[in-house]
Amino acid sequence: MDANKRLRYDKISEELTKLVGGRENIQGVAHCATRLRIVLKDNDLADLKAIEDVDLAKGVFVAGDQVQIIFGAGLVNDVYAVFAENNNMKNMSLSDLKTEANKKMNPLQRIIKALSDVFVDIMPGILAAALLTGLSGVLGNMGFVRDNDTLYGINTLINIASGAIFGFLPLAVSYSACKRFGGRPILGIVMGCIMLSNSLADAYAAAQGSVEVTTLHIFGLGVELVGFQGGIIVALLMGFVTAKLDQFFEKKVPEVIRLLVSPLLTTLVGALLLFTVIGPVGRGLSSGITNALVWMTQNLGVFGYGVFSGLQQLVVITGLHHIFGAIEAQLLADTGRNFLNPLMSVAIIAQGGAVLGYLFLHKKNTKIRELCIPSFVSVLFGITEPALFGINLRYRFPIIGGCIGGALGGVVVYLTNLAAVGFGTTVVPGIALADPAGNGYVNYIIAHGVAIAGGFIMTLVLGRFMDKPQQGTAAPGNANTKDGSGNRKEEGNEAAREIPEEEKFYGYAKGELVAMEDVKDETFANKVLGDGTAIIPSEGKVFAPADGTILSVFDTKHAVCFQSSYGTELLIHIGVDTVNLKGKYFTAHVKDGDVVKKGQLMVEFDKEEIEKAGYDTVIPMIFTDLAPGRTLEKAAPCGTTGDEEIVTVLTGEKNG
């Protein structure tokens, strides 16, 4: 690191330390690909607004009880190194940092976090079941499917598959909960099998009185031999109890007989507690939750729906929303319909409408476009954190517009009696879960249309009174001015340098040029790290796309952070998820700080071996820190690349 950069990063470090409440307020620091992550003793001492204006910082928010400051790929490594050194912080991993953050949680937050972890682990299965249920419902309503033996048979198998997954959901929950709380996962599976044993009367049949229930008498207590089909709350409790029993007996049983006796005692005591204590308590909790929700729909009506969908995204900010998965599962098991799913879905899309409203207000601001477009794409798939923390909360009035839009969508959900037949997915993929009764699919689209339009329009209205002008200026110490020749000059801690109105970047690998949107990775395709282009390589070599400097070569050698001679920063990433190879099959021919010429070999990689290992070798080139007012003009994604130009960076004036 040269002296000028070191001075600049020292200044950033000094300013950040002051703004987060001083060195004594810092508990830990780490970084990921683009963000500096800091755990503080007291987040209230941090001046988040002032941190946004720190040199080179692109944004800041609090998530997972960490203050996360966005610097960008490559740059964050250098900022972290100086910040950690200046504050005498140990070299922490991200997992260490999360553990440090978890220590700050109160008991309620820890419970919610634990519930979240349980359902995250089994979410792929839940999503599969939910989408299969929706697909089966759609096909089952089509006459030509019912009339065709093959199609009818396929749909029947789909229905069996989805029903089986949901039918054994208590087993999956028990397994995941036992694993989460430190027990051996197989014992969670064993307890789940006991809950769903064929020796017990089916819970649904017992509730209808269509089967005879055997009652045992243990210690004077009447124990009914009824299964726990749909017992999600019971499964959560049993997973926790099984884990604690396993830990207890593993410590107390002598090692010589531990292998046989410890699991025996865990299963025996766990089964006794299941039928005598945990089962009745869990059923009582489940019944109470379901009855409370049903009461809300029957007594609060449209007001209850509107308030829930209007405020649901505020719950997301607190992290308490993770508990809804257990509630939805229990609601489905008890009533067969899930009215919470469409309410949460319209709340989500309304925040997307607010993002679009804010984008419309600042459509000429390049930085705002780069924030808003990827955030909105995430919303379409039910992920609102980028929209909430990156835009709506940051600028305040969009979150209000989004909440109003969500409330309007909730009103439509109530008026159309819209519900879902599953849970686990929302917005665009969530339409597959809509209950088709009463034109459910049409009503789903109408409710979401009202919500997104409401969020968009209310954000525009509120913006007239509450919006503050967003200047398209560079970060402090990096201001842009114009000289007499019409070229831009960048002034900062380094010597001023002229920036031309257009800057060209050339083929950095031989192969087929493709659009960034076609890269088979959500982060690249949604342009989370920035816009750019990509090449499907025909050989294993990566060259410098222009004259410039190597900012950073990743330890795994699969990615290079590059800065052109005019200061434009970009990231060249070889392959998708190739970080997992830990440097195998990669050879770097440059190192941090090297000055390179256009066409100079930077990295070689064994394309065939990487593909044999199961990795996509596409090479995205991402412009991670494009100055405001500068845009990209990309070559058409066709044919093969050579030494011709593939990307031109234009100033706002040149681009019209």
- Taking alpha carbons only, the member of 44, 96, 98 closest to residue 66 is 98
96-132 burial string, b = 16+ CB within 10 Å, else e? ebbebbeeeeeeeeeebbebbebbebbeebbbebbbb
> Which tokens hold the place of 519?
């890269």
Tell me the CA distances in angstroms from 533 to 515, 546, 639, one per residue in order: 5, 15, 14
The crossing angle, in degrees rounded to 10, of helices 232-252 and 185-195 is 130
Helix (H) or strand (E) holding 11: helix 3-19
- Taking alpha carbons only, the member of 385, 355, 353, 382 closest to residue 368 is 355
User: Alpha carbon 55 to chain centroid distance?
Assistant: 27
- Find all residues with CB under 8 Å of 423, minimum gap 6, and list them: 126, 130, 325, 328, 329, 332, 338, 340, 341, 433
CA distance 36 to 20: 13
CA distance 532 to 524: 9
Which three-class secondary structure state does DSSP give residue 591?
A: coil
- Find all residues with CB under 8 Å of 157, minimum gap 6, and list them: none
Which three-class secondary structure state does DSSP give residue 105?
A: coil
Contact 578, 558 (CB under 8 A): yes
CB neighbour class for 353 (10 Å; exposed up to 12, middle 13-18, buried from 19):
buried
Contact 144, 173 (CB under 8 A): no
Q: Kindly list the catalytic residues.
A: 32, 573
CA distance 286 to 279: 10
Which three-class secondary structure state does DSSP give residue 192?
A: helix
CA distance 318 to 187: 33
- Taking alpha carbons only, the member of 640, 610, 592 closest to residue 540 is 610
CA 361, 364, 366, 367: dihedral to nearest 10 degrees? -30
Which three-class secondary structure state does DSSP give residue 157?
A: helix
CB neighbour class for 84 (10 Å; exposed up to 12, middle 13-18, buried from 19):
buried
